[in-house]
Amino acid sequence: MTTMDATNDLASMIDLVNPGTLYRSAIEEVAESIGPVIAESEQYRKARVFERLLIPDRVIRFRVEWVNDEGGVEVNTGWRVEHTNVLGPYKGGLRFHPSVTEDTLQFLAYEQCFKNALTGQPIGGGKGGSDFDPKGKSDNEVMRFCQSFMRELYRHIGPSVDVPAGDIGVGGREIGFLYGQYMKITKQRDGVLTGKPVGLGGLLGRTEATGYGCVTFAEAMMKHRGDKIAGSRVAISGAGNVALYAAELALQKEAKVVSVSDSGGSLVCENGFNGDQIKELIRFKEVERGRLKDWSGDGCVFHSEDKPWKHAEYDVALPCATQHEIEESDAKVIADRGCLYVAEGANMPCTHGARSVFHDRGVTFGPGKAANAGGVATSCFEMSQNAGHETWTKDRTLEKLHGVMLDIHEQCVEHAPKENGIVNYGAGADRAGFVKLADAIVAMGV
C-alpha cells in the first residue's frame, strides 16, 4: 500500500467517530505522521489499530454538586476519559477550568496515550476534570468541590486501574483534598493519585518535573542542531506549574528568561529575570495565588491582555499555558523574532497552522507529547515509590527524569523524517508512540 493511500484511509476513518474540534486536530496530526507506518504494516491494517485507538475505552460523566461559602448549592459536570489501558493503568491528569468540555478531555486523553508510550513506562492513557473554576474560590469551597468530585470518581480508579494526577487548576492543594476524600471513603492509602503533597506520599521533584523536563528536551534539540542553551534567550508563556519550573531550570542552565504570562497578560523582562525574581514569582503564584498584573520587579514590564511573543527577542519559545495558544499569526511573529526552537510545555499549544509555519521557516519544533512527558514519567516514579513503600530523594527523581527525557529525544530522532537537516520531532514522536501502542494492541488480540 502507498503512504498516500494509507493517509487517505486514515483521514476517512476520522469522520466515522465524529470528533470535536480539538480532538479532531489531535488525531489528524497523528494520522498525517503515521501514514508511512501504516502503509508498511499489513499487520496494523488488519488489526485496525488506528481505528481502535480513536474511540476511548469509556467516558465517565457525572454531576458534581457542592455548597458554596454563602450556603448556596452549585452544580458542575465531571468527567474521566479512560482512553486505553493497553500499556498499563489509565494515567493522566485532572483539569479544573471553566473551558473544560468532553472534547477537551478526549483530545488530552488521546495525546496522553502517545506521551505515556514514549516514556517507556507501563502506563496507559486517560484524562479527566471538570468545568469548575478554582480561581477566586476559598480553600473551603475548593475542598468541598474536590470531596464531591471524588465521591463519584473513587469507584472508577485504583492503583492498577486508573491513576489520575494534576493539570491546569489542579495542584498540590486540590490533589490533597481529593486524596483525603478517597482515603476516607475507601480506607485505602494506596497512592491512587500522583502529584500528592509529600506528606501524603508525594514524590520530591514531581512539582518541578514537567517544566524541568521541557527544558531538558529543548536543550537536547539544541545540541542536536549544534547549539547550546547557555547564553540563549528563552520566552515562556504561562505562569503556572510548568512555566515557572521551566523558567527555573532554564536560568540554572544560564539562559536568559525574558517572559512569562497568565490569562491577564504578559510580564516581559528584556534583560532576563534573575534567580530571586523567579523564586519570588513561584511563591507569588503558588502561595498567594496572585495575578501577574499585580507583580512588580526591576526591569519588568506588564503587557495587559497580550501574549508575550512580540515583546522581546529570543532563540527559544516554550509555550506552557494552554492548548491552541499559538496560532498561525503568533507563529509568524515567533519566527520573525529569530526564534529557532519551540518546545511545547503545554499540551498542543500550537495549532496545525502554527506548526506549518515553524516547519516552513526552519524552526525546530518539539511537540508536547515528547517535550512535556517529564511530568507523567515522574508520576510513574511516584507510583513506584508508593508501591514499594519507599522514599525517593529529589536527586534520584531528577536524575531519572533527565535520562527519560534524553531517551524520548533519541526515540523521536530515530523515528523522525529529516527535512533539510532539520528533525521533524512531531512525526518522530507520533510514530515512536504509535508503534508501541499498535504492537501491544496486536498482541492483545480482539
Active site residues: 127
Q: How far is the CB of 292 from ligand NDP (least distance, A)?
A: 8
Q: How far is the CB of 105 from ligand NDP (least distance, A)?
A: 11
Identity at 166, one-letter amino acid code? G
What SS3 class is residue 167? Answer: strand
Q: How far is the CB of 313 from ligand NDP (least distance, A)?
A: 22
Q: Which is nearer to ligand NDP, 10 or 242 (CB)?
A: 242
Grid coordinates standing for 322? 494552554
* Pairing label, strands 316-319, 162-165: unpaired
In this structure, the number of other CB atoms found within 10 A of the CB of residue 55 comes to 14
349, 321 contact by CB (below 8 A): yes
Total chain residues near ligand NDP (CB under 6 A): 23
CB under 8 Å to 233, separation ≥6 — which residues? 255, 256, 258, 272, 312, 313, 314, 315, 316
Identify residues 69-128 at the interface with ligand NDP (CB under 6 A): none
Q: How far is the CB of 178 from ligand NDP (least distance, A)?
A: 15
Q: Which is nearer to ligand NDP, 98 or 362 (CB)?
A: 98
Per-residue x/- track, 196-215, ligand NDP (CB under 6 A): --------------x-----
Q: Which of 240, 308, 366, 426 binds ligand NDP (CB under 6 A)?
A: 240
Residue 191 touches ligand NDP, criterion: CB under 6 A: no
Distance, CA of 259 to CA of 308 (rounded, Å): 6
Q: How far is the CB of 399 from ligand NDP (least distance, A)?
A: 19
Q: Which is nearer to ligand NDP, 151 or 400 (CB)?
A: 400
Distance, CA of 314 to CA of 231 (rounded, Å): 11
Closest residue to ligand NDP, Cβ-based? 240
Instruction: Point out which residues pair with 163 in neighbouring strands.
Output: 91
Grid coordinates standing for 66? 457542592
Q: Which is nearer to ligand NDP, 76 or 210 (CB)?
A: 210
Length of the chain: 446
134, 174 contact by CB (below 8 A): yes
Q: Which is nearer to ligand NDP, 56 or 169 (CB)?
A: 169
Identify residues 135-174 at the interface with ligand NDP (CB under 6 A): 166-169
Q: How far is the CB of 211 from ligand NDP (least distance, A)?
A: 8
Q: Which is nearer to ligand NDP, 154 or 212 (CB)?
A: 212
Residue 372 touches ligand NDP, criterion: CB under 6 A: yes
Identify residues 214-233 at the interface with ligand NDP (CB under 6 A): none
Q: Which of 19, 92, 202, 375 binds ligand NDP (CB under 6 A)?
A: 375
- C-alpha pair distances (Å), 161 with each of 353, 387, 395: 37, 14, 29
Distance, CA of 425 to CA of 10 (rounded, Å): 21
Distance, CA of 33 to CA of 226 (rounded, Å): 26
Grid coordinates standing for 301? 514590564
Identify residues 14-73 at the interface with ligand NDP (CB under 6 A): none
Identify residues 313-352 at the interface with ligand NDP (CB under 6 A): 320-322, 325, 345-347
Rg (CA), the chain: 21
> Terminal CA-to-CA distance of the chain, rounded, Å?
23
Q: How far is the CB of 240 from ligand NDP (least distance, A)?
A: 2
Distance, CA of 71 to CA of 133 (rounded, Å): 18
Residue 308 touches ligand NDP, criterion: CB under 6 A: no
Q: Which of 141, 162, 219, 262 binds ligand NDP (CB under 6 A)?
A: 262
115, 151 contact by CB (below 8 A): no
139, 65 contact by CB (below 8 A): no
Q: Which is nearer to ligand NDP, 205 or 428 (CB)?
A: 205
11, 28 contact by CB (below 8 A): yes
Please give the residue ranges that form the binding site for ligand NDP (CB under 6 A).
166-169, 210, 238-243, 262-264, 320-322, 325, 345-347, 372, 375
